[in-house]
A and B are shown apart, each in its own frame.
Chain A
């Protein structure tokens, strides 16, 4: 039961999805499975949330290091959940003017955007201290990066203004993006596609060890 049911379930659902691609009547089953997929996905998110609460409650209870921040996590959770579930007009909870919307704009958004903005500083420091033209490959990479970084802003065209129009750094950036970059992306893309397909095949055939296969 522990091993067989998941393997059979995976294979059955996976095969149905593939068959439905070629044989239209199977779409009825495919649609039903997709609906279940939504429902299970919802529960998966709940699982993550419950886990987070549990871990932090545990942290507070045991008074482990930085436990007061565990309280902040739980408070943060409640601060948005309670208004979102009960005081934001039900299904239209995300409309402008609701308290959920207010929290989204003034708490969630600044935090999330600033988290990513931090990376700008780290890119700068790494580019100074670690990005080296240590071999031919890294040199080509940095050269292409230079042309792109300068060519995508007007600076590139200023410093190459002595070249005839159409042959400046901006055009070089366009050319790199349109041709060599497209070729490289495509090679990676085809490789990834085959990788994804073979891993899907392993999963469906029950051969993927991480999924309990043999």
Chain B
């Protein structure tokens, strides 16, 4: 198409389309960075699926045990870390006991990063939470869905020791926790495989345990069928999901702050698609008429 017209004088649209892509890159950089400097709080609309995850945790009575599986790595930190922090704030506010684990080697580390952040809060400091009693980090075990499957028989089989090398039997929180029968909810933050889909297939469908999740935006749409069937209580999708969770919790945090940037970036992308298509169609029309 283009080759035939190379000699012709370029129209405005053609010139516009052939601008250096670095100019487009600059647009995006500005669209994302500048709004960060404004503390604009936006009203975050809450989706029913995010409400589902929030309710699943909110409805647990104090003292309930939540198994939190952190299945992501730093690559997805901007999307999932705000959820992780909001989750810990939520759990500790409601006096839930949290058992942390990870199917991704980096996952339990991400949990530690989130904990460090959450422990700065005054009201959580006041609770003087203790490792081994209020929360425990079992660390990572390799084996993907096989780990989930085996934990259905016994946690100890997959995690004989916690992340620090203490045998599970010596951890007060783990006393009486043998398998999924003894936890009230699984909360899963996932960025791919293994992740929420595997938790649904191997834990929910086999051992009949309740599951709520937070996912990266890329894979959240694939979880909707599971929410509709009830295999999954709810799903938080991407940074927006984190912002929704923070809004529901009433503790606006980083995700809410980032939403302004996100909104501007989306608008810029939509604008690019519109301009690009206008150019495409007007060039095509001109060619047809000439």
A residues at B contact (CB < 8 Å):
27, 31, 34, 37-38, 41-42, 90-92, 94-96, 101, 104-105, 108-109, 112-113, 115-116, 120-121, 123-125, 127-133, 142, 146, 149-150, 152-155, 157, 170, 174, 177-178, 181-182, 185-186, 189
Contact = CB atoms under 8 A, between A and B. Distances in A.
Contacts of A178: 48, 224, 228
Nearest to B206: A21
Contacts of B268: 124
A127 B28 contact: no
Contacts of A92: 163-165
**Could you tell me the dominant secondary structure of chain B's interface residues?**
helix
B266 A155 contact: yes
A91 B165 contact: yes
Contacts of A95: 112, 163-164
Nearest to A110: B74
B108 interface: yes
B163 A96 contact: no
Contacts of B113: 96, 105
Given A113-B78, A129-B276, 11 more contacts: A34-B143, A90-B165, A95-B163, A115-B75, A120-B265, A127-B272, A127-B276, A132-B280, A157-B45, A182-B225, A185-B225
B34 interface: no
Interface in B13-33: 17, 21, 24-25, 27-29, 32
Interface in B109-135: 109, 112-113, 116
Contacts of B171: none
Contacts of B259: 153-154
B275 to A, nearest CB: 7
Interface string B243-287: 000000000000000010011011111101101110010000000
B169 to A, nearest CB: 17
Contact of A185 (B78, B109, B222): B222
B28 A121 contact: yes
B224 A181 contact: yes
B95 interface: no
A38 B267 contact: no
Contacts of B109: 94, 101, 104
B102 to A, nearest CB: 10
Contact of A113 (B28, B77, B157, B277): B77
A96 B47 CA distance: 35
B139 interface: yes
B142 A42 contact: yes
A24 to B, nearest CB: 11
B94 to A, nearest CB: 25
